[in-house]
Amino acid sequence: MSKMQPFKMEDSLVRVSTSDPGDFTPRTQGVLLNLLLQLADNKYMLGKRYAEWTNSAPLLEAAVAAAAMAQDELGHARSLYPLFRTFPAAPPVLKKEEDRKDLINIAFLDQSFGSWIDFVAANFLFDQALSVVFEAARESVFEPLKQRAAKILQEERFHAMYGVTWVRSLAKKASPARDQLEDTLHRIWPEVVCWLGQPDEKYQQYALDEGLLCDDVDTLRQKFLRRVGPVLQEVGFNLPFTYEPTADHWELTGHLPWERWNPKTRRLRKE
């Protein structure tokens, strides 16, 4: 395959899509590989955590849904992992799934969900954050990611509806379950929002500049808040964001622990 050559048209840089990572510069290959790694590992770990509830869900229908969503997430991860083998400079450990012991996933997925409420909170918040990033990959210049993003987003529609249904159900009336859900959402909120990135983060800006993703961090945040914000407001959960109806704009409020943020692994370091 010939090398991808950017060319200028009306002073704009136009990039040609490719299926070969070797068409990118070494730096772009590294950023792309890291992006794929983070997406695949988080999909895998989310699927694993969902699967652990297939025999423990509170209702038969919930067990069936957990199994279906687990299968989706694990399938999404396994559609991404083979791409690592196409990178010329990928470390050997990335080319064999069974050889990997340390995954790069959001920290709260390191441990099994302690309750069904943890399941619901992760489904409602983090599953949606992942989908927002895959939306930003729908026009990626890396064709294999673009193609997989389209298929993944089709299968994620049920996940989004399921999370909303359970949040509404658990928040219907004053109860320990409602309080526990709100507490859990508050607990994982900073990490999920940080996972979407910092506005001035060089890795994500480079991914945007090179056409690997099509949305900047501010756009990712808006899309995420548009997905979860209306439901949280509807049920009366006071998460740290505001909505300005005149401008139709969502705004994060409160402190985010950027001092503990590692942009390369997209994880918060332990306090």
101-150 confidence digits (pLDDT tens): 789 999 999 999 999 999 999 999 999 999 999 999 999 999 999 999 99
Q: Which DSSP state fits 83?
A: G
Given this model, what pLDDT does residue 131 score?
Answer: 98
- Name the token pair of 16: 């040609």
- In angstroms, the Cα distances linking 57 to 48, 53, 72, 108 are 14, 5, 17, 20
Burial label, 131 (beta-carbon count in 10 A; 0-12, 13-18, 19+)? buried
Rounded to an integer, the average pLDDT of 216-231 is 97
- Look up the pTM and report it: 0.91
Map residue 128 onto helix, strand or coil.
helix
Beta strand 267-268 with 261-262: parallel, antiparallel or unpaired?
A: antiparallel
Residue pair 134/39 in contact (Cβ under 8 Å)? The answer is yes
Residue extents of the structural domains in the chain: 24-268
Rounded to an integer, the average pLDDT of 70-94 is 93
Given this model, what pLDDT does residue 15 score?
Answer: 66
Residue pair 116/52 in contact (Cβ under 8 Å)? The answer is no
Facing residues of 160 across strands? none
Write the single-letter amino acid at 60: L
230-257 confidence digits (pLDDT tens): 999 999 999 999 999 999 999 999 999 9
CATH domain 24-268 topology: Ferritin (1.20.1260)
Q: For residues 146 and 140, give the distance between their C-alpha atoms in angstroms, rounded to a whole number.
A: 5
Q: For residues 44 and 47, give the distance between their C-alpha atoms in angstroms, rounded to a whole number.
A: 5
- Name the token pair of 183: 């507490």
146-202 confidence digits (pLDDT tens): 999 999 999 999 999 999 999 999 999 888 999 999 999 999 999 999 999 998 888
1-54 confidence digits (pLDDT tens): 444 444 333 333 446 789 999 999 999 999 999 999 999 999 999 999 999 999
Residue pair 49/109 in contact (Cβ under 8 Å)? The answer is yes
Given this model, what pLDDT does residue 98 score?
Answer: 60
Residue 91: pLDDT band (50, 70, 90) is confident
Please state which of the ranges 134-143, 176-185, 212-221, 259-268 shows the lowest mean pLDDT. 259-268
Given this model, what pLDDT does residue 90 score?
Answer: 87
Q: For residues 163 and 73, give the distance between their C-alpha atoms in angstroms, rounded to a whole number.
A: 15
Given this model, what pLDDT does residue 10 score?
Answer: 37
